[in-house]
């Protein structure tokens, strides 16, 4: 059953609001998205070719940030497909926040709500309400799902502390590259953040547009080309994920690269991950 607060928000049909209208709890998200997009555009105009060291640095930050989201937020916390040691959980959460994925409690509650209501009228991030709604607008217009309802298991200091750590981590993410010069400021900061934002948002929009799916039927898709934006970390195999949401493996076989799962296997080897729920096909 979906929380009453969520049903009330859906009844307001927020996808019909003007795009600039924000919910009270999400009031900082739209200004943040506008800020990083405007700054990224300026950076691309001023420094279209930043040089290999800066480009590789931006790639490295986006890569580990993506691992923070897919391994830590998605597979470990949201679906409990593995258990991370506290130090690995803290490091990967830091890089997920650094990459603009938000606090673990808000990310996980939103994702669990999505799975609880996927492809129904209650799925508030559905492309059925429009591409831009599912891609971006729901982030500041749908409201934050009830964490007590969707993630009571995260009611502990190790997760709540990120409410206070997120602002300084994002400030470091945005401004940190300035230490290495103006080109690094733009590429290590806003350009990387915009790239990471859209790579993740395509999972809600593009990966839920199966044309033959009727209301209530599975609209998820595996989108091969999106693997390039995700650095082959596996999130693009979204139909696989909806078919087996409890599995730590998103790619099913060597033709579906899933470096997120290989990272989990490496973490298991060094004792940083355990209780891995591997693929079981039926």
Q: Does a structural domain hold residue 44?
A: yes
Say if 149 falls within a structural domain. no
- The answer to whether position 142 is within a domain reads no
- Helix 162-175 / helix 29-46 crossing angle, nearest 10 deg: 20
What angle (nearest 5°) sits at the alpha carbon of residue 69, between those of residues 192 and 154? 135
Total domains in the chain come to: 1
pLDDT tens digits, 116-156: 888 777 787 888 888 999 999 999 998 888 888 899 999 99
Mean confidence (pLDDT) of the chain: 91
Q: What angle do CA 31, 177, 190 make, to 5 degrees?
A: 30
The token duo for 247 is 């599995």
pLDDT of the residue at 282? 44
**What is the length of the chain?**
282
Question: Which residues span the domain enclosing 256?
Answer: 27-99+157-274
Residue 119 within any structural domain of the chain: no
Instruction: Determine, yes or no, domain membership for 243.
Output: yes
pLDDT digits (tens, 9 = 90+) for 200-239: 999 999 998 876 666 667 889 999 999 999 999 999 999 9
Average pLDDT value for residue range 48-65 = 97
pLDDT value of position 97 = 98
Among residues of the chain, what percentage have pLDDT more than 90? 76
Q: Is residue 129 part of a domain?
A: no
pLDDT higher than 50, residue 105: yes
As a whole number of angstroms, the distance between CA 234 and CA 230 comes to 7
Query: pLDDT digits over 183-197, tens only?
Result: 999 999 999 999 999
At how many degrees (to 10) do helices 259-269 and 52-67 cross?
70
Q: Do the domain assignments include residue 79?
A: yes
């Amino acid at each position: 059953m979906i929380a009453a607060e969520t049903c009330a928000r859906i009844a307001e049909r927020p996808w019909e609001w003007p795009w600039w209208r924000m919910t009270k709890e999400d009031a900082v998200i739209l200004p943040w998205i506008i800020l990083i997009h405007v700054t990224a555009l300026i950076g691309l105009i001023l420094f279209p070719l930043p040089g290999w060291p800066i480009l590789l640095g931006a790639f490295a930050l986006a890569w580990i940030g993506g691992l923070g989201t897919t391994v830590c937020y998605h597979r470990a916390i949201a679906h409990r497909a593995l258990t991370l040691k506290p130090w690995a959980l803290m490091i990967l959460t830091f890089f997920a926040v650094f990459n603009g994925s938000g606090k673990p409690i808000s990310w996980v509650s939103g994702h669990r709500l999505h799975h609880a209501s996927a492809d129904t009228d209650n799925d508030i991030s559905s492309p059925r309400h429009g591409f831009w709604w599912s891609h971006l607008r729901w982030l500041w217009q749908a409201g934050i799902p009830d964490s007590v309802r969707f993630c009571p298991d995260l009611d502990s200091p190790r997760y709540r502390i990120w409410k206070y750590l997120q602002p300084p981590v994002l400030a470091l993410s945005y401004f940190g590259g300035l230490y290495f010069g103006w080109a690094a400021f733009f590429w290590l900061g806003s350009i990387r953040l915009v790239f990471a934002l859209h790579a993740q948002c395509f999972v809600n929009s593009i990966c839920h547009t199966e044309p033959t799916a009727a209301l209530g039927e599975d609209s998820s898709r595996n989108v091969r080309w999106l693997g390039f934006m995700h650095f082959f970390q596996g999130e693009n195999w979204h139909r696989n994920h909806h078919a087996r949401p409890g599995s730590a493996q998103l790619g099913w076989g060597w033709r579906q690269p899933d470096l997120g799962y290989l990272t989990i296997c490496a973490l298991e080897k060094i004792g940083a991950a355990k209780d891995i729920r591997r693929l079981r096909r039926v």
